[in-house]
Structure 1
Amino acid sequence: MSADNLSRRLVAEMLGTGMLVCTVVGSGIMADKLTGDVALALLGNTIPTGAILVVLITVLGPISGAHFNPAVTLGFAIRREISPSDSMFYVGAQIIGGILGTLAAHGMFDLNILQTSSTVRTGGAQWFAEVIATFGLMFIILGGLRARADAVPWLVGLYITAAYWFTASTSFANPAVAIARSLTDTFSGIRPVDLPGFIIAECIGALLAVALCAWLLRGGRSGHH
């Protein structure tokens, strides 16, 4: 693979993750400014996140595969659909992009650019929620690619929209996004000290989905509906 092609893929991953995080953090700040109702603020955070995922995956998917997520990249690496070296570059690009997205959101809302979160998100229930959230995300991606690849942007956007509400953790489901969210002391933040539990849980969820899909999605499609 040419260096130019890899460079384009990495820029796509960085840009996509950055725009995703900027949307998550920025919409959280805006929602928090506009209402004191936490449920309404969460809705104001959810809809833009699901919407931007549809847009970003549609536009950048043909360039890089639109992972925007180290756990997803890990899943594809385990399936040998991306090389170990490329996957490491992907993860680096995703983390850098995510951090830049947080900083951009702070800049737009005239907040201190450099922050760390004080929002506590820890404990077995939160970690289990992240296992479930990331398992679902990886399963939807792999199942969608097999069943109807052109629908994957919508499937992912709709899944994350739902997972914001049915998971106790509001479905981070993404180590790069979690890292970026630790650098904002706003509505969507997570304490840096809580990151390891989230990241481990997210990777476990992705790997469980890869393992299940290796069995569940093998062979041809059934003729039954």
Structure 2
Amino acid sequence: MLTRKLVAEGVGTALLLIGVVGSGIMAERLSPTDVGLQLFQNAAATAAVLFAIILMFGPVSGAHFNPAVTLADWALGDFPRRHIAPYIAVQVAGAAVGTILANLMFDLDAVDWSTKDRSAGHLWLGEVIATAGLVALIFALVRTGRLRYVAGGVAAYIGGAYYFTSSTSFANPAVTVGRMFSDTFAGIEPSSAPMFIVMQIVGLVAAVLLIRFVYPQDKPAGEPVS
């Protein structure tokens, strides 16, 4: 039932942003002079939340929580084209709601537009790599019949990518939009968001091409591709 799937996607994406933004705010308050520790706390909390919400909603909606994953699922799988727009709409709405709730939990204005400038070529390259790696990981596991590893794999990848990418791995257009609503550790200035999203789409396309080549669907799921 599509309605049930959309609710799962919206709530799951909201919880993801509560985790990302809320942990960023808490990290700033707990470790105000140590940016490295703030990043570690933010990364650890985000990875944990991702693991939990994928387990929670995966059986219902596929636990995309990310327009890039939804588009890749359509390009690489059997995801219905008519469901793309509703999925992306609830993901973006859920991201905005999640950020607003995180702001309110920490006694901040519901909407406080971020002033954190993230406009630079090296950050854009980071987003291409972060998104391509995330999408490739998910569909490598899907196409080899290892769905049980998706929650742990995605959590581990994003937790690590906070550190090995210059952009701290947004890797998600909905998350990028949501993070505009909070002028805190995890925020992104609205003027910086469009290029992040463009680079995420570039990463998505690269991942789809890679998966089609490395894991062609000419063998049963779970059978090694030679």
For the superposition of Structure 1 and Structure 2, which TM-score range results when normalised by the shorter chain?
Answer: over 0.9
Matched residue, 1:61? 58
Task: After TM superposition, list the pairs within 5 Å mapping 1:106-185 onto structure 2.
Answer: 106-147=103-144, 148-185=146-183
Read off the aligned partner of 1:170 and give its amino acid letter.
T
Distance 2:51 2:143 in 1: 18
- Describe how 1:1-225 pairs up with structure 2 within 5 A: 5-35=1-31, 36-147=33-144, 148-218=146-216, 219-220=218-219, 221-222=223-224
> Taking structure 2 as the reference length, what is the TM-score of the superposition?
0.94
Q: How much does 1:167 deviate?
A: 0.1
CA-CA distance at 1:80 after TM superposition: 4.8
Q: Give the Cα separation in 2 of the matches to 1:109 and 1:55.
A: 22
Amino acid at match of 1:71: A
- Partners of 1:223 and 1:134 in 2: CA distance: 24
CA distance in 2, matches of 1:40, 1:82: 40
Deviation at residue 223 of structure 1 after TM alignment: 8.7
Structure 1 unaligned runs (5+)? none
Structure 2 unaligned blocks of 5 or more? none
Cα distance in 2 for partners of 1:141, 1:72 equals 8
Separation in structure 2 between the aligned mates of residue 204 and residue 73 of structure 1, nearest angstrom = 15
Question: Contact 1:74/1:203 (CA < 8 Å) preserved in 2?
Answer: no
TM-score after normalising by structure 1: 0.95
Does the 8 A contact of 2:51 with 2:154 survive in 1?
yes
C-alpha distance after superposition, 1:60-112 (max 9, x if no partner): 01100000001111111222522222011000000000000001101110111
Shift of 1:222: 3.7
Contact 2:103 2:110 in 1 (8 A): yes
**Which amino acid counterpart does residue 118 of structure 2 have in structure 1?**
R
Q: Could you tell me the percent identity over the aligned residues? A: 43
* Contact kept in structure 2, 1:115 and 1:185, CA below 8 Å: yes
Distance 2:161 2:203 in 1: 14
> Residues 223 and 134 from structure 1, CA distance in 2 versus in 1: closer, same or farther, beyond 3 angstroms?
closer
Task: Give, as a single letter, the amino acid of the residue that structure 2 aligns with 1:32.
Answer: E
| CA RMSD across the alignment | 1.3
